[in-house]
Structures are given as C-alpha cells and as structure tokens.
C-alpha cells in the first residue's frame, strides 16, 4: 500500500491526535472505487429496468458514495437522506477508533426521510457495513414505510465485525477489520474529502 495522495495534515487536540495524511496508507485507490461504483450502478440499472428508484443516503458518510452511484444509474431516480446517532454522548474519537460508534447497539434516529417511501423501490445507501446494528435499525424504520422493494447498497463490508445477521444486496468491497477514512468516511469529522480510502492507525 502506498501513502495516501493528499496534502500533509497533522493537528493535535486535547483528546486525540490527527495523523498526517502523508502517513496514511491507501487501501482502495480512487480508480478502484470509481470502477466498482460504476459496476454497481449497472447492476442496479439492470435490476430495476423500466422502474424508478429512490436512493436514501445515511448521513454523513454515504453522501459521496450516493452522489457517484446515482450518476452511474440509468433510471428515473430521486434522493432522500436519513440520519442516526448512538444514544447518549458519542464516543470520543479514541473510543470510536477502537470499538466503533454504534458498538453499544443503542441507535436513535436524528433525521427521518422527507418523503413517503410507500410503494417505492428504496435503495438504502451506506458507506460501511460492519456490526450491522445501524443497518438493522434503519431497515426496520424504512420497512415500516411499506416500500415496494427494499435493497441495501454498501460501499464497504467488514464481515468480521458483524453482530447482526444482515447483508447488503450491493457491496463495493469486502475489507479487513481496519479503521478507514476518506471518500466520505471520517475520523473526528476529518478526512472525509480524501479521494482514496485509507487506513487510519488505531495505535
């Protein structure tokens, strides 16, 4: 793996330290991501040929994936967004790095969809599927809207972290249990704008 291709950055905070971008290792390069997103777009176009779909992006991490994916789908498509958080205070960046923000299993809705999903072909778009706790919760919320069909598109999948038996219908890449940033994924709200997906060191 090569260093992440972006300008150097190193910022220290009282509770955590941001790693210089030049010290991050690339897990997935931008071209790999673009090629795979295009393939998923073609698959969705085939699966829903002649129908319309609504993409529901999970804020904030899925925003870049959703925008790129939607442009690869040759269908009548609309967007909506949904937001979730953990109950209580969000873990510190250091705790999140070790365990993930939803590791307690206590997930709450912070933003519901703005439009009716009833009788619609709904594709929930998520940046990463790991424990499955968040997507299990969101599937229950969205299925209550009685969509015509419901699918999940996840850019990344960490099967080794799964706590709930849930799988995505469209998966970009299966990855090892590494903390990753870039292409919408963050650490302490940083690194989302990196064009590659990079490994952030846990230590």
Active-site positions? 130
Q: What sign does the CA torsion over 34, 37, 42, 48 have?
A: negative
User: Residue 45, exposed/middle/buried by CB under 10 A (0-12, 13-18, 19+)?
Assistant: middle
CB 64 within 8 A of CB 86: no
Distance CA 102, CA 132 (A): 9
- The C-alpha angle with vertex 91 and arms to 90 and 96, in degrees rounded to 5, equals 125
Alpha-carbon span 45 to 40, nearest angstrom: 9
Q: What is the spatial distance between Cα 115 and Cα 173, in angstroms, rounded to a whole number?
A: 30
Nearest to 138 by CA among 85, 176, 193, 203: 85
CA dihedral 67, 69, 75, 81 (to 10 degrees): -50
């Amino acid at each position: 793996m090569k260093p992440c291709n972006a300008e150097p950055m190193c910022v220290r905070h009282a509770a955590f330290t941001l790693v210089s971008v030049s010290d991050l290792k690339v897990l997935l390069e931008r071209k790999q991501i673009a090629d795979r997103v295009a393939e998923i777009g073609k698959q969705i176009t085939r699966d829903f040929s002649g129908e319309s779909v609504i993409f529901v992006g999970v804020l904030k991490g899925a925003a870049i994936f959703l925008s790129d994916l939607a442009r690869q789908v040759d269908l009548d498509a609309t967007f909506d967004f949904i937001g979730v958080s953990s109950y209580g205070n969000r873990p510190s960046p250091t705790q999140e790095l070790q365990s993930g923000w939803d590791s307690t299993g206590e997930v709450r809705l912070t933003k519901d969809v703005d439009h009716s999903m009833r009788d619609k072909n709904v594709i929930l778009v998520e940046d990463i599927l790991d424990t499955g706790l968040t997507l299990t919760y969101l599937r229950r919320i969205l299925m209550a809207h009685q969509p015509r069909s419901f699918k999940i598109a996840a850019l990344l999948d960490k099967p080794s972290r799964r706590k709930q038996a849930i799988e995505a219908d469209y998966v970009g890449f299966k990855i090892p249990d590494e903390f990753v940033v870039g292409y919408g994924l963050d650490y302490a709200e940083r690194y989302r704008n990196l064009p590659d997906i990079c490994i952030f060191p846990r230590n």
